């Protein structure tokens, strides 16, 4: 992990050596409690798909359209009993991160923010991030599309 602020990435180069891991991550709750959540656990939660997603990079072009599938951030937070959160930090194991505000994911969204573990109906490969934050609305520099999620902090 590098030492820069994960919320202010300095480089847009793709990570050519995907970090180790099996897709599990740590949820740090508002009360400070930590729990490890595995991909099989996530697969028990309601599944949602969002089509026509693009990964838009200033540095290396646009890819897509993709259908990403997984659990919506809203369902995930409800399931884990965190109903009074205001902000999440989603941080990858390679030190890349993004913040999500509750107001962005509230209500019933047609194109929900996802903890995605499928791409076009197949499991996400390690190269593609294993478990990845998908923000369908982001169409500029892909800084919100966090691959290899390692920790989610509830604030």
Cα dihedral 74→79→82→86 (10° resolution): -10
Complex with ligand MTE: residue 118 or 145, whichever CB lies closer? 145
Determine the Cα–Cα distance for residues 41 and 57; give it in Å rounded to an integer.
Answer: 31
CB of 118 to ligand MTE, least distance (A): 14
CB of 13 to Mo ion, least distance (A): 8
Figure out which of the listed residues 25, 68, 96, 113 binds ligand MTE, where binding follows CB under 6 A: 96
Strand duo 114-119 + 87-92: pairing:
unpaired
Counting other chains too, the contacts that 3-7 makes at CB distance below 8 Å and 24 or more residues apart are: 4/95, 6/91, 6/92, 6/95, 6/96, 6/97, 7/89, 7/97, 7/98, 7/99
CA atoms 112, 114, 120, 122: torsion sign: negative
Figure out which of the listed residues 70, 92, 134, 154 binds ligand MTE, where binding follows CB under 6 A: 92
Distance of CA 57 to the CA centre of its chain: 17
- Asked if residue 142 binds Mo ion (CB under 5 A), the reply is yes
CB of 72 to ligand MTE, least distance (A): 19
Per-residue interface string for the shown chain with ligand MTE, residues 124-143, x marking contact by CB under 6 A: ------------------xx
Per-residue interface string for the shown chain with ligand MTE, residues 29-68, x marking contact by CB under 6 A: --------------------------x-x-----x-----
- The 10 Å Cβ neighbour count of residue 81 is 8
Residues that bind ligand MTE (CB under 6 A): 12, 14-15, 55, 57, 63, 92, 94, 96, 142-143, 145-148
Residues that bind Mo ion (CB under 5 A): 12, 57, 141-142
């Amino acid at each position: 992990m590098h030492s820069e602020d994960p919320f202010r990435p300095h480089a847009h180069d793709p990570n050519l050596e995907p970090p180790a891991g099996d897709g599990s991550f740590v949820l740090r709750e508002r009360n400070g409690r930590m729990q490890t959540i595995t991909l099989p656990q996530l697969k028990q939660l309601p599944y949602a798909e969002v089509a026509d997603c693009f990964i838009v990079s200033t540095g290396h072009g646009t890819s897509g359209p993709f259908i990403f599938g997984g659990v919506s951030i809203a369902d995930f937070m409800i399931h884990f009993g965190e109903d009074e959160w205001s902000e999440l930090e989603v941080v990858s194991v390679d030190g890349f991160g993004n913040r999500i505000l509750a107001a962005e994911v509230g209500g019933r969204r047609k194109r929900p923010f996802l903890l995605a573990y499928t791409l076009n109906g197949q499991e996400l490969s390690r190269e593609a991030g294993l478990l990845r934050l998908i923000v369908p609305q982001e169409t500029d520099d892909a800084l919100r599309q966090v691959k290899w999620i390692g920790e989610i902090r509830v604030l």
